[in-house]
Amino acid sequence: MINERTKALLFFAAGVLCLALAGLLIVTFKGRWEAGSPTVVAGALPVTSPATKESADALPQSSEWVVYITGHVQRPGVYHVLPASRVYHAVDMAGGFASSADPEAVNLATPLEDGMHIHVPGKGEGAGQKPASPSSRQNSDSSAMKKVNINRASEEELQALPGVGPSTAGSIVRYRESQGLFNGIEDLLRVRGIGPAKFEKIRHMVTVNQ
């Protein structure tokens, strides 16, 4: 028979053994936790290379042209056309000839150019003149395509731009007088009354260099 003293010694020995095993387990797994790999790895941030960004920025510039058509058409204004379009494309986009137009005075087969100003004369305005050929158009259209210098133009000259009325023209002149000359046409976006939509309509018709 095991006496009470022997039982106490056995219980004490068992307790010491359990504590030793627990300490060994803690030391073993603690090292693994500290040296282990992270369970979540953050992915790399997407990076746009300069070449890709430049290609994306350059795409809108080559995907369409902007032309300005005035005179005797149904809806004069600024229109976006595909490269290599012809005058008749612009006339169609403007709603076609007005009843007062002189179609014979317009060469509908003339190739368009980015930033071109097309004027459709009325009956009698082009009397005695032949429709412009591509070669003569390049010479005669240079004056029609002359851009408005926003650093020198008067309020009246600025009002010739589509969407620019007396109020906006006055704001351009006041900005020029208070802030100095425009460094680039993009500075027009700082003028009160000119937002991105209006700027897109006139950007191909203005300059700061001429």
Tens-digit pLDDT profile for the chain (210 aa)? 567 777 777 778 887 788 877 777 776 666 554 555 454 444 444 455 554 445 444 444 558 888 899 989 999 999 999 988 999 999 999 999 999 988 888 899 899 988 889 999 988 875 545 454 444 444 444 444 578 999 999 999 899 888 898 999 999 999 999 999 999 999 999 999 999 999 998 988 999 985
Structure confidence at residue 126 (pLDDT): 55
Structure confidence at residue 141 (pLDDT): 47
Beta bridge partners of 68: 78, 117
Which of 112, 118, 117, 119 lies closest to 82 in space, CA to CA? 112
Domain 148-207: CATH superfamily is Photosystem II 12 kDa extrinsic protein (1.10.150.320)
In the chain, domain spans: 65-120, 148-207
Which of 136, 106, 133, 107 lies closest to 122 in space, CA to CA? 106
Distances (CA, A) of 210 to 149, 150, 172, 207: 6, 9, 17, 7
Around 113, how many Cα atoms within 13 Å sit in the side-chain half-sphere? 12
Structure confidence at residue 24 (pLDDT): 75
Q: Beta strand pairing status for 65-71 and 117-120?
A: parallel
Structure confidence at residue 144 (pLDDT): 46
pTM beyond 0.85: the answer is no
Structure confidence at residue 32 (pLDDT): 59
Report d(CA 185, CA 207) in Å as an integer: 6
Report d(CA 199, CA 186) in Å as an integer: 8
Report d(CA 1, CA 10) in Å as an integer: 14
Structure confidence at residue 118 (pLDDT): 92
